[in-house]
């Protein structure tokens, strides 16, 4: 019996070998197909993640650019008021928009939804190491530094509010600015009740100078470099999305 089996195997060996090869090839093909499917799913997910970052970072860039314009108006306004006080010039209603902008401060939102979601899943879904590092740096380093300096400017604003009750009328959101270079701020202009007396308050002018210093630091060291970094990051995101698609 055993001899018959051995003789059969010797005569039919190529059939069994072919079956083994077919089975192995089937396993390899199935494995490769599964890997291809997983890679395709990961690629699709990566594109979705990058587009989510692009939407959030584009909104952040627009917000930063708006904040930059607002702080630039605020700095210019404080300088105009200080010049008027220093040169003992008379009050003019064109200053009302400037007084309004002395209360400007920003609270940068920095939409963190995409990065928080990614941290809770897998940061490695962003396969481009350099791009992933740029994204993490933006959220973990650039944004927190901006918010920290914003706190100092908000403290300046809170101190300036102490002068409101004594020297200013309430915000007027309906009046237009009469200043040629400075539009009315969204929260309204401010008309002084007694400008002559306000001009004698050294604490007021000191606060304006402190605001100028803090706002210029925010712009030069944080906001404008952040704007440039965000613009560059969005370009890199576009390139990577195009490459993956």
- Contact in structure between 57 and 136 (CB atoms under 8 Å): no
Using the Cα atoms of residue 40, residue 45, residue 51 and residue 54 in order, give the sign of their dihedral: negative
pLDDT per residue as tens digits for the range 206-234: 999 999 999 999 999 999 999 999 999 99
Mean pLDDT of the chain: 87
Provide the pLDDT confidence category of residue 54 given band limits of 50, 70 and 90.
Answer: very high
To 5 degrees, how large is the angle CA 121–CA 226–CA 234? 55
- Contact in structure between 138 and 110 (CB atoms under 8 Å): no
Please count the other Cβ atoms lying within 10 Å of the Cβ belonging to residue 220: 10
- Contact in structure between 146 and 98 (CB atoms under 8 Å): no
Residues 80, 68: Cα–Cα separation, whole Å: 18
Residues 17, 96: Cα–Cα separation, whole Å: 94
Residues 2, 230: Cα–Cα separation, whole Å: 78
pLDDT per residue as tens digits for the range 158-197: 888 888 888 999 899 999 999 999 999 999 999 999 999 9
Supply 206's token pair.
């000191």
């Amino acid at each position: 019996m055993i001899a018959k089996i051995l003789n059969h195997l010797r005569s039919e060996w190529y059939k069994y070998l072919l079956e083994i090869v077919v089975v192995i090839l089937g396993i390899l093909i199935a494995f490769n197909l599964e890997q291809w499917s997983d890679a395709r799913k990961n690629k699709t997910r990566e594109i979705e993640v990058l587009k989510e970052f692009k939407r959030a970072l584009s909104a952040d860039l627009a917000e930063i650019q708006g904040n930059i314009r607002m702080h630039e108006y605020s700095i210019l306004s404080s300088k105009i008021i200080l010049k008027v006080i220093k040169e003992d010039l008379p009050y003019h209603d064109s200053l009302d928009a400037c007084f309004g902008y002395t209360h400007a401060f920003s609270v940068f939102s920095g939409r963190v939804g995409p990065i928080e979601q990614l941290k809770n899943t897998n940061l490695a879904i962003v396969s481009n190491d350099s791009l992933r590092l740029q994204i993490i740096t933006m959220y973990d380093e650039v944004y927190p530094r901006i918010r920290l300096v914003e706190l100092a400017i908000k403290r300046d604003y809170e101190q300036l509010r102490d002068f409101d009750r004594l020297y200013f009328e309430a915000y007027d959101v309906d009046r237009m600015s009469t200043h040629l270079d400075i539009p009315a701020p969204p929260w309204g202009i401010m008309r002084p009740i007694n400008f002559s007396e306000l001009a004698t308050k050294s604490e007021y002018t000191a606060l304006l100078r402190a605001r100028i210093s803090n706002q210029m630091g925010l712009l030069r060291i944080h906001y404008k470099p952040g704007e440039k970094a965000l613009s560059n990051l969005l370009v890199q995101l576009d390139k990577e999305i195009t490459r993956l698609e």
